[in-house]
Chains A and B, each alone.
Chain A
Amino acid sequence: MSTSPADHGAPPTGDVGAGPTAYPDEPAPLQRTSATFLGMPSFQTAAKAALADTQQRRNLAHATATIRGKRAAVVAEVEAWEELRVAGAAAKDEVLHHLPHYLEQLEENLTARGATVHWARDAEEANRIVVGLVQERDADEVVKVKSMATQEIELNEALEAAGIHAWETDLAELIVQLGHDRPSHILVPAIHRNRAEIREIFLREMGEVGRPAPEDLSDEPARLAEAARLHLREKFLRAKVAVSGANFAVADTGTLVVVESEGNGRMCLTLPETLISVVGVEKVLPTFADLGTMLQLLPRSSTGERMNPYTSMWTGVHAGDGPQDVHVVLVDNGRSHVLADPVGRDALRCIRCSACLNVCPVYERAGGHAYGSVYPGPIGAVLNPQLRGTGSDVDKSLPYASSLCGACFEACPVRIDIPALLVHLRTQVVDEASGRSVEALGMKAAAWTFADHRRLEAAQRAATVGGRLLGDRTIRTVPGLGAWAQARDVPTPPKETFRQWWRRTHGDGAGTDGTGTDGTGTDGRTA
């Protein structure tokens, strides 16, 4: 499969030019990272298709169950887990409540230690800054540490449009990028792929953009990892510029932190001359001591490990050691908007661990792509409509992409009450629609019925008449109830409602019915 832009249906937007690969005779084709999430259909529509993808269903069921089990085991062994969650939430809340203060402190300390700080209002500004920095250094490629912020702003696409290769070096991100695919999980972006598919992608694609996979590649994990290692090695050794995100940015020291498993991040953070880190403004932590909390919460919640293999911290520039040209791009991109909502702002506590994805029964079945964003799952269902607004079909539908089962809240290491946020956003969607829908009319009619028990009783009489006519027959189809009845029997209305039964057996006076609320001394009353 060729990777020329025309083959992928995208217009050639940049000067591809001669590639920096080890195959100088041919111009290296520009890597095409992924299709964007623009114009996604509603969650319901996308999920319907995803549910029919049997391979993905199997992969997701297996992978999420495995991570769930690992997480549960390592969380259970921490006695003070709840206290850690509270401390983690408190540290993030402290930052969110005093964000300008901590951002300025961070900038001051970064600058004092030799880093250059850039501020970006939105994705476009952030991309312009990064592309500009790379171009100023005459580089035509960057190696990348896995970063949600750069995916959110679609930095790879911006770099590629400027003729700059953006090489993802995280194994799963590499799989996604080589597959011209989109990530479907925050931590495990290729969770929807199994190893047979990964082998096929490596064999087909690696040679197009660098060192080819060995012809006898098998789908054993060790062989796949070896192929990735060899493919990436020349890029690590060659690249002059690295781009990363940061898991945490410590205000009182100016330290950035990247937490990872594979060591590819460490390569990117230490080998190139220039390091550009794109960091969402909510990533700030007040003090270095807060890392003590966060570094216990994150790995256990994320990979289900007591500690992750590689934790890299850097504080500006160290003469003669590591990148000598260090830049930090602090990105807002909708976060101030989220911060302005006193309920919704809790979502900015998120440390991108993805525990909520792994415990979510909806995510497990619908997969990540249906959420139409690099942030899938429960956190994506609350974050995307807040960052992007609720104008599009997918963002309007995301707050409803949950049964409100509460497993996400229970798993969240920084105690984001995702179900409450979902309900809050549903209200926002309904309020914005200003009552102009069939559903809104139905809801208003139901609310009218429930406003007075006599109206409810009248409606119930109609239902019980139906119930008596139907007898005990099971209802398998009902006009207008197609969404329910396609796979579920419909309960037959009873012949007698509870309140009819109560009146028959206990009479009107046994409770505080319409005539009995006159304080006749029912001993259960508190007043």
Chain B
Amino acid sequence: MTSQGPTVAIFATCFNDTMWPEAPRATVTLLERLGCTVVFPREQTCCGQMFTNTGYADEAVPLVRKFVDVFERYEHVVAPSGSCVGSVRDQHAMLARRSGDGGLVTAVEELTPRVLELSEFVVDVLGRTDVGAYFPHRVTYHPTCHSLRMLHVGDRPLRLLREVRGIDLVDLPNATECCGFGGTFAVKNADTSIAMGSDKARHVRETGAEVLVAGDNSCLSHIGGILGRQRSGVRTLHLAQILASTEEDPA
């Protein structure tokens, strides 16, 4: 593969790395197909979001430091997760300030604007919407909250999906409403979380789609967990998997 594109450090995210490796794998496949050189800095672990959002800021600060140490040397850092990128771009500076380490604050402010969610990178940096994907299935897209309201990715994922050959892309009713995952909210407020997820799953089923796609496997594990429990016949895929899908190597 000739690579004339930029070198990209992939931030796999701990959740994808451990539980949903298909998403970062598809991200690598896609970015390499688009001419990028992808590197995986092995020392990476976690952005710290679970700690931050549960109130464990002191536990999150070392992970912010680690994130900077691992990624500050790269011009482009890309993650297949709106939520983790949201935490990096929206919360790392706050955590660095809490640590009282001025050097860390500066390093975070310098690095985090370069950390992009996959659709941001492909559309804004690579300038592509047609990524040469093929996926002949009925699909509906859930715009996850952090992609939508923290990162403001807007319609970038939909612009990418619309160009996928063979896709039957249908609108999800009440798409912008939260699915109810919310990290530890899913277990701390399990009843409310399930009530929200059930409504989301109902809207997904209303579309008649066979695949629910989103840019975050955390939300998908929640909605998909409900859809699976219902034996709904709907599967979930990460956006990267559909964009990486080809006739030769289907998702």
**Residues of A that sit less than 8 Å from B by CB:** 43-44, 47-48, 51, 361-362, 365-366, 399-407, 409-410, 420, 423, 426-431, 439-440, 443-444, 446-447, 449-453, 456, 459-460, 463, 474, 476, 483-484, 486-491, 493-494, 496-502, 506, 508, 510-514, 517, 522-527
Looking at B8, B14, B189, which has the most chain A CB atoms within 10 Å of its CB? B189
B42 near A524: Cβ-Cβ < 8 Å? no
Given A453-B42, A498-B21, CB of A423 within 8 Å of CB of B53:
yes
In the complex, A510 Cα to B19 Cα: how many Å?
A: 23
Task: Give the residue of B19, B66, B186 whose beta carbon is less than 8 angstroms from that of A491.
Answer: B19
For the complex of A and B, 5 pairs with smallest distance between CB atoms: A524-B7, A403-B182, A488-B225, A426-B55, A430-B55
**Residues of B that sit less than 8 Å from A by CB:** 6-9, 12, 14, 16-22, 24-25, 28, 37, 39-46, 48, 50-57, 59-60, 62-63, 66, 72-76, 90-91, 94, 145-146, 148-150, 176-178, 180-198, 221-222, 224-226, 228-229
Query: What's the least CB distance linking B35 to chain A, in Å?
Result: 13
B9 near A524: Cβ-Cβ < 8 Å? yes
B189 near A400: Cβ-Cβ < 8 Å? yes
Interface SS, B side: helix
Tally A-B pairs: CB < 8 A: 235
B56 near A443: Cβ-Cβ < 8 Å? yes
In the complex, A232 Cα to B48 Cα: how many Å?
A: 57
In the bound complex, residues from chain B placing their C-beta under 8 Å from that of A476 are 229
B18 near A524: Cβ-Cβ < 8 Å? no
A523 near B7: Cβ-Cβ < 8 Å? yes
In the bound complex, residues from chain B placing their C-beta under 8 Å from that of A490 are 225
Task: Give the residue of B14, B53, B62, B189 whose beta carbon is less than 8 angstroms from that of A426.
Answer: B53
B20 near A47: Cβ-Cβ < 8 Å? no
A484 near B189: Cβ-Cβ < 8 Å? no
- Select from chain B the residue with minimum beta-carbon distance to A499: B17
Query: What's the least CB distance linking B225 to chain A, in Å?
Result: 3
Task: Give the residue of A496, A498, A500, A512 whose beta carbon is less than 8 angstroms from that of B16.
Answer: A498
13 contacts between A and B (CB under 8 A): A51-B191, A361-B178, A402-B182, A404-B183, A406-B148, A430-B57, A488-B222, A488-B228, A497-B18, A497-B21, A511-B9, A512-B41, A512-B43
In the complex, A362 Cα to B179 Cα: how many Å?
A: 10
- Select from chain A the residue with minimum beta-carbon distance to B57: A427
Interface SS, A side: helix
Query: What's the least CB distance linking A99 to chain B, in Å?
Result: 25
In the complex, A357 Cα to B229 Cα: how many Å?
A: 30
Task: Give the residue of B6, B45, B50, B145 whose beta carbon is less than 8 angstroms from that of A524.
Answer: B6
B183 near A512: Cβ-Cβ < 8 Å? no
Task: Give the residue of B51, B63, B192 whose beta carbon is less than 8 angstroms from that of A362.
Answer: B192
In the complex, A524 Cα to B59 Cα: how many Å?
A: 30
Query: What's the least CB distance linking A67 to chain B, in Å?
Result: 15
Given A453-B43, A497-B17, A510-B40, CB of A404 within 8 Å of CB of B189:
no
A446 near B50: Cβ-Cβ < 8 Å? yes
- Select from chain A the residue with minimum beta-carbon distance to B39: A511
Query: What's the least CB distance linking A493 to chain B, in Å?
Result: 6
B45 near A403: Cβ-Cβ < 8 Å? no
Given A405-B178, A463-B18, A499-B12, CB of A410 within 8 Å of CB of B149:
yes
Given A487-B194, A493-B19, CB of A44 within 8 Å of CB of B188:
yes
A362 near B39: Cβ-Cβ < 8 Å? no
In the bound complex, residues from chain B placing their C-beta under 8 Å from that of A527 are 72-73
Query: What's the least CB distance linking B229 to chain A, in Å?
Result: 5
B145 near A456: Cβ-Cβ < 8 Å? no
A400 near B74: Cβ-Cβ < 8 Å? no
B182 near A404: Cβ-Cβ < 8 Å? yes
